[in-house]
């Protein structure tokens, strides 16, 4: 039974992380107890280290102090990497072989929110199905953790022997190593060669940090590149005065879209608040969906792998029948699967969520994975997602695929997907989500007595149904009474008709 003494909300424990309003839902008490519970869950003893980073939100530093005290209360070291992006925290944990890592951030949420993301050794994620439930139980039921928190409140010191907890906190600057790491995903020397590649200097990159952590990280990265960076909202400000740091919402990208339509740059890149995602606006000012970007990156990696395979046949352990693997989520356009197969790769459909992708990346040794929501995963990035690496890959692709001294246009690169007609995500308020999905199963599930027998039906994440000329996925929201529909058809007319058909079943229209 959960204790009622805690002065924070149980709602902060989500499927993949911690998230809530400060200080009513998440606060210093929650931070201290979560830090102590993580150490206990991972069975970390004295001498072990946990990397902790934080974003620029106004309460992130206060949460850091309490979290660090909770971690050090068991004799475990805290490595303070300071203000950073989430992909920097993942990098630091895996690269320096720390025993765990915690990022204090609420990602793209409004300023009143804060939260935490967790990884264990090698940047392996900790989510609801991999430890977060156990951590929640420890936070609420472990008497030793409660006693340590009381000592912390009383200012008695939390380490054994009541020694000062701050002696177990060290600072680490990871920026230089992180910059080298992300730049290794492109051939910066070739791009910067003015004699061989003069067009790269002309490439104009309009980048919107949304007052988030990209404002700190992006200038350090682009200082090593000779293309032109045009910054937008690069001032770190946890109040987000320009717009909310969620570029997936059209309202939040209105300014960068307007500037791209005026021709200010060749490519527009919008980052979310903690930089584990990025989004692209093409040279015509059009937002490019994440599944089309996934298809472009899949093509890039598969062609690169084929070239390297042709140049180097020395890997005797590689089976001749093996195909490089790319992961994509159930919401994605057929463009992803078709592009992967066209380039001699193996495409695997995935349940939505970073924990599932990262686990499968390791199991399959996948070269790349992408989600419609703008999360992109890379094998050489410890199988983690990053917002910086996709930005670098895009500018390399635009440079490499350009002809006659000109930069390639993203609008032209995605033009080959013009025959894929995608609805985008459509949310419906449904009180009984399970009943609605049962109606969809009855209508579209395999049944020998009706014409729907030709459909392929999957239950990886909600229900996915695939015909020769259209397909859809309907999945449940984890936190709201919503069903989310994504649908695609081979014509605009059919797409609109089928959206109405499926929505009619979801909403039980007679």
Spatial distance between the Cα atoms of 22 and 278, rounded to a whole number of angstroms = 26
User: Which has the closest alpha carbon to 112: 239, 247, 251?
Assistant: 239
**Phi-psi label, residue 382: left if phi above 0, alpha if psi -120 to 50, beta otherwise:** left
* pLDDT tier for residue 347 given thresholds of 50, 70 and 90: very high
Answer yes or no: 449 catalytic: no
Domain for residue 113, yes or no? yes
* Average pLDDT score over residue span 32-55: 97
Residue 472's CATH number: 3.30.310.50
Q: Which of 246, 261, 288 is the last residue of a domain?
A: 288
Show Cβ contacts of residue 240 under 8 Å, excluding neighbours closer than 6 positions.
110, 111, 210, 211, 212, 273
Q: What is the pLDDT of residues 50-72, one digit of tens each?
A: 999 999 999 999 999 999 999 99
User: Pairing mode, if any, of strands 463-466 and 456-458?
Assistant: antiparallel
Tell me: do 109 and 208 sit in the same domain: no
Least confident of 180-184, 194-198, 223-227: 194-198
Q: What was the pLDDT predicted at 311?
A: 57
Residue 18's CATH number: 3.40.120.10
User: Which has the closest alpha carbon to 441: 426, 422, 458, 417?
Assistant: 458
pTM for the whole thing? Answer: 0.93
Domain for residue 401, yes or no? no
Q: In terms of residues, how long is the chain?
A: 510
Percent of the chain whose predicted confidence (pLDDT) is above 70? 92
Domain for residue 481, yes or no? yes
Over 60: is that where the pLDDT of 278 sits? yes
Tell me: do 188 and 252 sit in the same domain: yes
Q: What is the pLDDT of residues 374-399, one digit of tens each?
A: 999 999 999 999 999 999 999 999 99
Tell me: do 168 and 185 sit in the same domain: no
Tell me: do 120 and 231 sit in the same domain: no
Task: Provide the domain count of the chain.
Answer: 3
Per-position DSSP letters for 446-461, written without gaps between them: --TTSGGGGSEEE-SS
Q: What was the pLDDT predicted at 1?
A: 31
Q: What was the pLDDT predicted at 175?
A: 98
Tell me: do 126 and 202 sit in the same domain: no
* Chain mean pLDDT for the chain: 92
Q: What is the pLDDT of residues 434-492, one digit of tens each?
A: 999 999 999 998 654 445 456 899 999 999 999 999 999 999 987 678 999 999 999 99
Per-position DSSP letters for 194-207, written without gaps between them: TTT-GGGGG-EEEE
Tell me: do 110 and 235 sit in the same domain: no
Residue 434: domain span: 421-506
| 494 vs 15, higher pLDDT | 494
Q: What was the pLDDT predicted at 312?
A: 54
Question: Per the structure block, which two tokens stand in for 403?
Answer: 């002809």
Tell me: do 39 and 124 sit in the same domain: yes
* pLDDT tier for residue 100 given thresholds of 50, 70 and 90: very high
Output helix, strand, coil percentages for the chain, rounded to the nearest 5: 40, 20, 40
Q: What was the pLDDT predicted at 284?
A: 98
Spatial distance between the Cα atoms of 70 and 36, rounded to a whole number of angstroms = 5
* Average pLDDT score over residue span 250-268: 98
Element spanning 101, H or E:
strand 100-104
Over 80: is that where the pLDDT of 494 sits? yes
Indicate which residue of 36, 85, 107, 333 is catalytic. Answer: 107
Domain for residue 82, yes or no? yes
* Average pLDDT score over residue span 325-339: 97
B/e letters for 422-459, b = 16+ CB within 10 Å, e = fewer, are bbeebebebeebeebbeebeebbbeeeeeebeebeeee
**Degrees to nearest 5, angle at CA 55 with 73 and 205:** 150
* Average pLDDT score over residue span 266-293: 98
* pLDDT tier for residue 321 given thresholds of 50, 70 and 90: low
* pLDDT tier for residue 2 given thresholds of 50, 70 and 90: very low
Q: What was the pLDDT predicted at 237?
A: 98
Tell me: do 199 and 124 sit in the same domain: no
| 163 CB-side CA count, 13 A | 11
Tell me: do 18 and 164 sit in the same domain: yes
User: Which has the closest alpha carbon to 374: 253, 301, 488, 270?
Assistant: 270
Q: What is the pLDDT of residues 350-365, one digit of tens each?
A: 999 998 999 999 999 9
Q: Which of 117, 148, 173 is the last residue of a domain?
A: 173
Tell me: do 150 and 57 sit in the same domain: yes
Domain for residue 315, yes or no? no
Tell me: do 273 and 149 sit in the same domain: no
User: Pairing mode, if any, of strands 470-476 and 482-489?
Assistant: antiparallel
Judge contact between 23 and 54, C-beta under 8 A. no
Q: What was the pLDDT predicted at 446?
A: 65
Q: Which of 231, 264, 288 is the last residue of a domain?
A: 288
* Average pLDDT score over residue span 34-56: 97
Question: Per the structure block, which two tokens stand in for 306?
Answer: 């084929």
User: Which has the closest alpha carbon to 87: 195, 186, 216?
Assistant: 216
Q: 135 in helix, strand or coil?
A: helix
Omega before residue 23 within 30° of 0, cis: yes
Q: What was the pLDDT predicted at 116?
A: 98
Judge contact between 104 and 52, C-beta under 8 A. yes
Tell me: do 189 and 151 sit in the same domain: no
| 502 vs 445, higher pLDDT | 502
Domain for residue 360, yes or no? no
Domain for residue 192, yes or no? yes
Over 50: is that where the pLDDT of 314 sits? no
Spatial distance between the Cα atoms of 103 and 17, rounded to a whole number of angstroms = 10
Domain for residue 284, yes or no? yes
Q: What is the pLDDT of residues 119-131, one digit of tens each?
A: 999 999 999 889 9
* pLDDT tier for residue 16 given thresholds of 50, 70 and 90: confident
User: Which has the closest alpha carbon to 30: 146, 133, 124, 125?
Assistant: 146
């Amino acid at each position: 039974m959960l204790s009622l003494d805690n002065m924070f909300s149980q709602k902060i424990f989500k499927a993949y992380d911690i998230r809530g309003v400060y200080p009513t839902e998440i606060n210093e008490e929650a931070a201290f107890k979560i830090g102590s519970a993580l150490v206990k869950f991972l069975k970390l003893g004295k001498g072990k280290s946990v990397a902790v980073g934080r974003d620029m939100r106004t309460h992130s530093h206060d949460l850091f102090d309490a979290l660090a005290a909770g971690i050090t209360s068991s004799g475990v070291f805290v490595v303070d990497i300071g203000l950073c992006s989430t992909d920097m925290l993942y990098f630091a944990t895996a690269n320096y072989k720390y025993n765990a890592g915690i990022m204090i951030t609420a990602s793209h949420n409004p300023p009143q929110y804060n939260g935490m993301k967790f990884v264990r050794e090698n940047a392996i994620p900790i989510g609801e199905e991999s430890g977060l439930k156990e951590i929640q139980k420890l936070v609420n039921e472990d008497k030793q953790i409660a006693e340590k928190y009381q000592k912390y409140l009383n200012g008695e010191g939390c380490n054994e022997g009541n020694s000062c907890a701050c002696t177990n906190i060290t600072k680490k600057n990871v920026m230089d190593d992180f910059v080298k790491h992300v730049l290794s995903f492109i051939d910066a020397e070739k791009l910067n060669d003015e004699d061989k590649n003069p067009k790269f200097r002309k490439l104009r990159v309009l980048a919107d940090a949304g007052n988030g952590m990209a404002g700190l990280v992006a200038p350090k990265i682009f200082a090593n590149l000779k293309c032109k960076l045009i910054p937008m909202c690069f001032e770190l400000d946890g109040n987000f005065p320009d717009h909310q740091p969620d570029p997936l919402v059209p309202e939040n990208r209105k300014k960068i879209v307007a500037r791209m339509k005026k021709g200010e740059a060749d490519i527009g890149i919008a980052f979310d608040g903690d930089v584990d995602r990025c989004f692209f606006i093409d040279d015509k000012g059009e937002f490019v969906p994440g599944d089309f970007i996934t298809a472009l990156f899949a093509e890039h990696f598969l062609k690169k792998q084929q070239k390297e395979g042709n140049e180097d046949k020395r890997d005797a352990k590689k089976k001749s029948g093996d195909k490089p693997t790319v992961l994509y989520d159930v919401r994605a356009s057929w463009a992803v699967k078709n592009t992967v197969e066209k380039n001699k790769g193996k495409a695997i459909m995935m349940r939505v969520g970073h924990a599932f992708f990262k686990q499968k990346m390791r199991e399959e040794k996948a070269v790349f994975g992408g989600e419609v929501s703008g999360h992109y995963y890379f094998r050489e990035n410890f199988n983690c997602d990053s917002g910086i690496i996709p930005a670098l890959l895009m500018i390399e692709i635009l440079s490499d695929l350009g002809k006659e001294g000109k930069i390639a246009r993203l609008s032209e690169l995605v033009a080959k997907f013009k025959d894929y007609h995608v609805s985008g995500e459509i949310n419906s308020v449904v009180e009984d989500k399970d009943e609605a999905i049962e109606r969809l199963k009855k209508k579209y599930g395999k049944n020998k007595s009706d014409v729907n027998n030709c459909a392929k039906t999957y239950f990886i994440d909600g229900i996915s149904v695939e015909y020769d000329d259209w397909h859809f996925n309907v999945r449940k929201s984890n936190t709201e009474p919503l069903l989310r529909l994504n649908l695609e058809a081979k014509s605009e007319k059919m797409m609109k008709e089928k959206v109405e058909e499926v929505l009619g079943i979801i909403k039980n229209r007679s």
